[in-house]
Amino acid sequence: MKIVIINYGAGNIQSIKFAIKRLGFEAVLTDDVNEILAADKVIFPGVGEASSAMSKLRASGLDTLIPTLKQPVLGICLGMQLMCNASEEGETKGLGIFNVDVVKFSNKVKVPQIGWNEISNLTTNLFNKVKEKSHIYMVHSFYAPVTNETIAKSNYDVDYSAALQKNNFYGTQFHPEKSSEVGEQILRNFLEM
C-alpha cells in the first residue's frame, strides 16, 4: 500500500509518519503531483495558521489537485479546516470539499482548546471499533459547526464537528497520531479503507 503525506511546509508531519510506522506501514512525504495521484491513501496534515497554509498550497498548485483526488483522503486538524468552504482565520477561502465555514470559538471558553475531549455520534468506517465518548486529543481555536457531513461530534462551548466526511474525503479536527490507542484505531481504519 502506498501512503503519501502531502508536503506543503505546514505541520507536525514527523508524528504522523511515526504513527503510521507504528501501525506497520510506511508513508512518503511528497509534494509531487504524480506521486500523490498514484497513492492508495493520502494524508493532508496541517498545523498553524489558515491563510498562510492556504497560500503555500496555492503556490504549489496543490489546491486544485486535492479536490480532484479519487482515493481516500484524510485531512487532519488544519488540513480538515482547509478542506471546508472557508475559514474565519485570516478570512481564508478553503478547498470547498466540505460544505461548511470554519469559525472561531467564543470568549466564553479558553482559546485554544487544548487537551483530550470526547467524540460521539460516530458514523462511517473511520470509527470502526471506536467506542462512543472515546477521548481524543484536540488543539485548535477554530471549528467547523455540525453539518450533514459531520461523522463525529464533540462539544466545547458548542457542539462542533470532530470529523467530517464527503465521498472519499475524510477530515478530523483532532490529531489521531497523538490520540493514544483510540487514535491508532482511527488511523488503522483509514488505512484499511
Pairing of strands 98-104, 84-87: parallel
Q: Are 76 and 172 in contact (CB under 8 A)?
A: yes
Q: Is 58 in the site for another protein (CB under 8 A)?
A: no
Among 114, 123, 129, 132, binds another protein (CB under 8 A): 114
The amino acid sitting at 133 is K
Number of residues that bind another protein (CB under 8 A): 37
Q: Are 36 and 12 in contact (CB under 8 A)?
A: no
Q: Is 88 in the site for another protein (CB under 8 A)?
A: no
Q: What share of the chain is helix, strand, coil (3-state, %, to 5)?
A: 30, 35, 35
Q: Is 184 in the site for another protein (CB under 8 A)?
A: yes
Q: Which three cell numbers stand for residue 35?
A: 506521486
Name the minimum Å distance from CB 163 to another protein.
17
Does residue 84 carry a catalytic annotation? no
Residue position matching grid coordinates 492556504:
54
Among 98, 156, 169, 190, binds another protein (CB under 8 A): 156
Q: Is 135 in the site for another protein (CB under 8 A)?
A: yes
Among 48, 101, 147, 158, binds another protein (CB under 8 A): 48
Identified catalytic residue from 26, 132, 175, 184: 175
Query: b/e string for 84-113 if b means 16 or more Cβ within 10 A?
Result: bebbebeebebbebbebebbebeeeeeeeb
E strand or H helix that includes residue 130: none
Among 118, 121, 145, 166, binds another protein (CB under 8 A): 118
Which of residues 28 and 47 has its CB atom nearest to another protein in the complex? Answer: 47
Q: Tell me which residues are annotated as active site.
A: 77, 175, 177
Positions touching another protein (CB under 8 A) are 12-15, 18-19, 21-22, 47-49, 107, 110-118, 135, 137-141, 155-156, 175, 177-181, 183-184
